[in-house]
Homo-oligomer: A and B are copies of this chain.
Amino acid sequence: MIDIESYIKARAAAVNAALPRFIKGLKHADPRLAEAMAYSLSAGGKRLRPLLMGASYEIFGGKAGDILPAACALEMVHTYSLVHDDLPAMDDDDLRRGRPTSHRVYGEALAILAGDALLTDAFTLLLSSRYPRRVRPAGLLAAARVLGERAGARGMVSGQAADLEAEGFLKGRATPARRRAGLKLLSYIHLHKTADLITAAVEMGALLAGAPARDFAALSSFGRDIGLCFQVADDILDVVGDKGKLGKSGSDARNQKLTYASLLGVEEARRRARALMRRALPELARVRGAAGPKAALAGIAEFVYRRDK
């Protein structure tokens, strides 16, 4: 048995050390832009996506350190999405992880640009880094394709757009037909807004390792299900969580966001999260490879699912 909290702490520390090195390497960048990028990258967080990518890669024999640039690149994509999501035109959040959001510190224009740069430079970092020989160019290309597809209009950005359009959905009377439409919309939002980037994490790890197609598919299903589970858990926390621990201002209720908690109640949302986790673990078990990293993946998933912040 691994001590999952220590494991997460140690692995996240490696990511936290690598991210500022990338920003420091940005010669000739506008200094305030680089500062705004570093500010959002240094806000902490669980570094969940890099951790998942590293563990997924290790199932097939490598060491997570081999693909640290790719793991940081994915964290940059996640960070850009938070910076843009917090903007006044979007969720209009003042706090993120207990600190003022980027646009509160640097102004709206620079926050937009810092997000743009984090997204673009994620691809630069992913594609321009040196990897050990076991990471083949074909695997790198495949991982970059997955990142583009899961993060773009086929993925995360469509989830964000649908989320915006769903604002105020609950204002009308909650007829059964309206509830059904809400649930359908909500599963689209969760799949793309959250699960796609979690799925990308485990998929990219597998592709960089050159995993067989069958194992890739099983990991992909596992990624989708834990991603959906995390979003349901997050929705529940937004309702019942301790705002101090969460370090954010609970804008979901204010913006009348569609969530499982608002649509089905907290108990039913909890039941759904449990069901997703129960489906995810056997998918992971089907993957052929090293037992330690598989246990770590399961441990990370359980840890996030049970978290209270």
Q: State whether B90 touches A157 (Cβ < 8 A).
A: no
Q: State whether B112 touches A87 (Cβ < 8 A).
A: yes
- Nearest neighbor of A165 in chain B, beta-carbon distance: B32
Interface centre among A29, A87, A149, A152 (most CB of B within 10 A): A152
- A80–B128 Cα distance when bound, in Å, is 23
Chain B residues in 8 Å Cβ range of A117:
152-153, 157-158
Q: State whether A28 touches B138 (Cβ < 8 A).
A: no
A164 CB within 8 Å of chain B: yes
Interface residues of A in 123-178 (CB under 8 A from B): 123-124, 127-128, 137-138, 140-141, 144-145, 147-149, 151-154, 157-162, 164-165
A4 CB within 8 Å of chain B: no
How far is the CB of A103 from the nearest CB of chain B, in Å? 8
- Nearest neighbor of A138 in chain B, beta-carbon distance: B137
- A141–B153 Cα distance when bound, in Å, is 22
Interface centre among A32, A90, A153 (most CB of B within 10 A): A153
A252 CB within 8 Å of chain B: no
CB contact between A116 and one of B29, B84, B123, B128 (< 8 Å): that residue:
B84
A246 CB within 8 Å of chain B: no
How far is the CB of A31 from the nearest CB of chain B, in Å? 9
Chain B residues in 8 Å Cβ range of A42:
none
- A32–B161 Cα distance when bound, in Å, is 8
CB contact between A165 and one of B30, B84, B138 (< 8 Å): that residue:
B30
Q: State whether A154 touches B123 (Cβ < 8 A).
A: no
- Nearest neighbor of A128 in chain B, beta-carbon distance: B145
A26 CB within 8 Å of chain B: yes
- A120–B152 Cα distance when bound, in Å, is 5
In the complex, besides A112-B112, A123-B148, A124-B145, 16 extra interface pairs with C-beta distance below 8 angstroms are A26-B153, A27-B154, A28-B154, A28-B158, A30-B162, A32-B161, A33-B153, A84-B116, A89-B108, A113-B164, A115-B116, A117-B152, A117-B158, A120-B152, A123-B144, A124-B148
